C-alpha cells in the first residue's frame, strides 16, 4: 500500500533559530528550505501528489499555491529536479491530478484533456489522473433513474467521457506516465458501474474520488460492490482518504495506494490531536506570537492590556517550557507560565490538563525521528510555521511507521 503526500509547497527553513526566531539573512526559500523527504532519513511517504490547480490555479481567477517563478521552473526543470527527489534518502514517485475539489462548484471542469496531459507529461510525472468532476453526496439507496440523482449522474458521465478522451489522447501521444482513471459515484452500485466502464476503456489503475467525507463503513460498502466487478490486475487508489488502521481491509479489496494531508494538517489545524505517537496523539502547547494572534492584538490596541506585559508573559512561557525540558523546573511551573500567558489570548479555554498530559509524557524524547532529536520540546510548541510544519513532518513520519506495520499485516 503506497502513500502519496499532496504537495502544497510545504518546506522548513533549516537556518531558523528557535531561541531568537531569526533566519539566515541570505536564505533563498526555494534553494535553502527543505521538503519532508530531505529532512527525514526515511522519507515519510512513497511519493508526492501534485495538483494542477495548486500549481496553475484556475481560469476563474482562483490562485494556486505556486508563484509565477516556481511554476515556470517546475515546467522547465521537471518534477524530479524541482522537488529534489535525488536529495532524499528514499526513491519517490510523483502522481498528478487536476485538483477537482478546487472547482467543485463549477458547471464543468476548467481544464481540457490536452492541457492536463501537457502538465503531467511536461513535468515528468509517473502517474496522471484523468480529468474528473467530484460528487459529494452519498445516497446508497438512490438509483440512477431517481430525479435526485440527475446532477450526480451528469457529473459521473462527464468524468467517464473525459476518462475515455484522456485514455485515447494518452495512447495517441505516447505519454511517459501511467494514465489513471477516476470513478465518481454516490452509492456502492454507482461506483461499481463507473469501474465497469473504466475497465472497458482500458484502465488498469483507477482512483476513487469523492470519498473524503464518507465513514469507513461506507467506503467498505463501496469497495465490496466494486470487488464484484473488479478485474484481476486492476489497482485502486483512494483519493484523500487516510484510515491507516483499515489498510489490510482496503488492500484485500484491491486498494494499492492512497493520498492524504491529514497527518500533516492535524499538526496545526486540529484542536487536540496535534502530535502523533505510535499509540496516541497529544495536544500541542499553544504559545502564539504576540504580534501574530488576532485576539491578543485587539486587546492591546484597545488598551485593555499592554504590549510589554503580553511580551513578558510570552517570553516566560517559552523559557519555562525549555527549562522543563532541561529538568530545571517542575511541570507545575511550566503549566503556570503557559496558563498565565493563555489568560491574555485564550481566556475561554482551559487546556491545563491536556498540557499536563503532553508535558508529563515528554513524547519528543521517545521519538527517533530526525526532527524531534534535533529540536526537542520545540516540536510540540504550537507557534508559527517553522514549529508547526516540523510537527507536521513528524506526524508524517509516525504515520508512515504505522502504515509500515499495517503493510506487514497485509503480507502476513
User: Is 259 a known active-site residue?
Assistant: yes
Q: Are strands 178-183 and 127-129 parallel, antiparallel or unpaired?
A: parallel
- DSSP-assigned states of every residue in 272-291: S--EE-SS-EE--EE---GG
Contacts of 199 (CB under 8 A, 6+ apart): 206, 229, 230, 231, 234
Q: Are strands 127-129 and 285-286 parallel, antiparallel or unpaired?
A: unpaired
- Whether the Cβ atoms of residue 388 and residue 268 lie closer than 8 Å to each other: yes
User: Is 97 a known active-site residue?
Assistant: yes
Closest to 140 (Cα-Cα) out of 224, 196, 199, 239: 224
Catalytic residue among 46, 193, 259, 325: 259
- Whether the Cβ atoms of residue 99 and residue 54 lie closer than 8 Å to each other: yes
- DSSP-assigned states of every residue in 347-393: TT---HHHHHHHHHH-HHHH--SHHHHHHGGGGGEE-HHHHHHHHHH
Closest to 253 (Cα-Cα) out of 241, 264, 270: 241
Nearest-angstrom CA–CA distance, 23 and 17: 6
Catalytic residue among 97, 132, 164, 193: 97
At 238, which helix (H) or strand (E)? strand 235-238
The grid cell for 231 is 478485474
The values of phi and psi at residue 242, to 5°, are -130, 100
- Whether the Cβ atoms of residue 368 and residue 44 lie closer than 8 Å to each other: no
Q: Which residue has the cell 463501496?
A: 222
Contacts of 190 (CB under 8 A, 6+ apart): 144, 149, 152, 153, 156
Nearest-angstrom CA–CA distance, 160 and 143: 18
Strand pairing partners for 22? 17
Residues noted as catalytic: 97, 259
Amino acid at each position: 500500500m503506497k502513500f502519496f503526500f499532496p504537495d502544497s509547497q510545504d518546506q522548513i527553513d533549516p537556518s531558523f533559530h528557535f531561541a531568537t526566531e531569526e533566519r539566515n539573512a541570505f536564505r533563498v526559500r526555494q534553494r535553502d528550505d527543505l521538503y519532508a523527504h530531505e529532512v527525514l532519513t526515511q522519507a515519510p511517504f512513497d511519493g508526492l501528489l501534485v495538483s494542477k490547480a495548486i500549481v496553475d490555479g484556475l481560469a476563474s481567477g482562483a490562485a494556486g499555491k505556486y508563484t509565477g517563478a516556481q511554476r515556470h521552473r517546475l515546467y522547465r526543470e521537471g518534477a524530479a529536479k524541482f522537488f529534489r527527489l535525488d536529495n532524499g534518502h528514499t526513491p519517490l514517485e510523483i502522481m498528478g491530478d487536476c485538483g477537482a475539489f478546487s472547482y467543485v462548484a463549477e458547471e464543468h471542469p476548467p481544464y481540457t484533456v490536452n492541457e492536463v496531459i501537457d502538465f503531467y507529461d511536461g513535468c515528468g510525472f509517473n502517474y496522471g489522473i484523468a480529468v474528473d468532476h467530484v460528487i459529494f453526496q452519498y445516497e446508497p439507496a438512490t438509483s440512477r433513474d431517481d430525479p435526485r440523482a440527475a446532477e450526480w449522474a451528469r457529473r459521473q458521465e462527464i468524468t467517464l467521457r473525459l476518462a475515455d478522451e484522456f485514455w485515447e489522447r494518452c495512447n495517441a501521444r505516447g505519454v511517459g506516465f501511467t494514465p489513471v482513471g477516476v470513478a465518481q459515484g454516490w452509492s456502492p452500485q454507482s461506483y461499481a458501474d463507473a469501474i465497469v466502464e473504466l475497465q472497458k476503456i482500458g484502465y488498469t489503475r483507477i482512483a476513487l474520488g469523492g470519498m473524503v467525507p464518507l465513514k469507513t463503513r461506507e467506503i467498505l460498502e463501496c469497495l465490496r460492490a466494486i470487488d464484484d466487478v473488479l478485474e484481476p490486475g486492476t489497482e485502486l487508489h483512494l483519493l484523500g482518504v487516510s484510515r491507516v488502521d483499515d489498510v489490510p481491509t482496503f488492500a484485500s479489496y484491491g486498494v494499492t495506494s492512497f493520498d492524504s494531508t491529514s497527518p500533516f494538517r492535524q499538526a496545526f489545524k486540529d484542536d487536540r490531536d496535534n502530535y502523533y505517537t505510535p499509540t496516541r496523539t497529544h495536544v500541542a502547547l499553544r504559545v502564539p506570537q504576540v504580534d501574530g494572534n488576532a485576539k491578543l492584538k485587539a486587546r492591546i490596541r484597545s488598551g485593555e492590556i499592554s504590549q510589554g506585559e503580553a511580551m513578558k508573559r510570552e517570553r516566560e512561557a517559552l523559557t519555562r517550557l525549555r527549562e522543563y525540558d532541561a529538568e530545571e523546573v517542575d511541570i507545575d511551573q511550566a503549566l503556570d507560565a503557559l496558563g498565565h500567558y493563555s489568560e491574555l489570548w485564550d481566556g475561554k479555554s482551559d487546556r491545563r490538563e491536556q498540557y499536563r498530559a503532553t508535558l508529563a509524557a515528554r513524547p519528543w524524547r521517545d521519538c527517533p525521528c530526525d526532527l524531534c532529536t534535533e529540536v526537542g520540546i520545540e516540536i510540540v510548541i504550537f507557534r508559527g510555521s517553522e514549529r508547526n510544519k516540523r510537527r507536521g513532518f513528524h506526524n508524517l513520519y509516525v504515520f508512515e511507521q504505522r502504515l509500515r506495520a499495517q503493510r506487514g499485516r497485509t503480507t502476513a
